[in-house]
Amino acid sequence: MTWHPPITWQVDQLVTEQDLNEQVRDNLLYLKERVDTSFAFVQLNEPQDFTTTSTTFVDVKSDRLTHTMATTGLPVAIGFTGFLTTGYTPTYVFWDVAVDGARLGGSSGIGATIGAPYGTASFVFIAPNVTAGTHTFTLQWRVHANGYSATLFTGTGIWGVRPQFWVKEL
């Protein structure tokens, strides 16, 4: 559906069927399509927390923090929030999202946090160049150096914090 720029109506102007269809029906349908775009969301409540010691990007939990959805070629917003620990050693944790296996960020990903001993990880990222089609979005992470680790709390234990990962076509 295409957006039709609004007409400035004139006194005594003849309004045609085509005018009404474009200005009212078509423009309302266009706006409704924006609301109905694809959206995928998960909030975890897992029996085990997730831990990584990897210095290269790896999936956080590919069977739980992955979304597969159809897009129409519009930009896509991707968001994550969670609570983690790195023990009592200051550790940088880098975050990224892979779309169909290709990471969106550079060597440091699209977001970073430090947990010493605890930290909140959160980002919202706009991916403007996701083509139309079915795509898989997977949350990834890594620590900054060998010998370090990070644990993402997943709703268990004393904290009860439940991470969220979502994807929304704009």
In total, how many domains does the chain have?
1
Question: Which residue range forms the structural domain that includes residue 111?
Answer: 39-169
pLDDT band at 168 (very low <50, low <70, confident <90, very high): very high
In a domain, 12, yes or no: no
Residues 68 and 9: their CA atoms lie apart, in Å, by 45
Percent share of the chain, pLDDT over 90: 59
Helix (H, G, I), strand (E, B) or coil at 151: strand
In a domain, 90, yes or no: yes
Residues 133 and 125: their CA atoms lie apart, in Å, by 20
What's the pTM value of the predicted model, to 2 decimals?
0.80
In a domain, 14, yes or no: no
Query: Which domain CATH number covers 102?
Result: 2.60.120.40
Residue 18 has pLDDT above 80, yes or no: yes
In a domain, 65, yes or no: yes
In a domain, 118, yes or no: yes
25-39, 62-76, 132-146, 147-161: range with highest mean pLDDT: 132-146
